[in-house]
Amino acid sequence: MAEPAFPRISRAIPVRRYQYGNFAVTVLDDIESPDPVVYRYLMALVKEGQPQPTAFVTCEPAGEAMRGEGRYQLRVINSSMDEPVLADDALGSLDAFCAQGLEIAEQLYSLQDEEPYRLA
């Protein structure tokens, strides 16, 4: 089985940054990509000492299978998975996306004992 492909980003605007345990988290908006997906937001998770993200959480239009749950879906992409995890209309809001994305990061990396800190 092929390894999941991370999003390819031609241009994007960083709109929020967080420190979450030993991860730097950057949220991107206004994304241009050669990928066939139209990204609403991207959350990149970079482990300290690593040059590249170890995972992405994306907000994109819901696929057919999840469209009944909402207009936008969250998809998790890392070295072992690339799959939608939930859909909701509210995910089109930056605040809702960030809250859900950070919750997913907590689950992925066992960050229950950490607090995400929003950076200026």
Average pLDDT over all residues of the chain: 93
Q: H or E segment at 120?
A: none
Output the CA angle 109-49-97, nearest 5 degrees: 45
- Could you give the CA distance from residue 111 to residue 115 in angstroms, rounded to a whole number? 8
Query: What pLDDT shows up at residue 21?
Result: 96
pLDDT of residue 65: 82
Q: What is the pLDDT of residue 68?
A: 85
- Which residues have a Cβ under 8 Å from the Cβ of 1 and sit 6 or more positions away? none
Return phi, psi of residue 11, to 5°.
-160, 145
**56-110, pLDDT tens digit by residue?**
999 999 988 888 889 999 999 999 999 999 999 999 999 999 999 999 999 999 9
pLDDT band at 49 (very low <50, low <70, confident <90, very high): very high
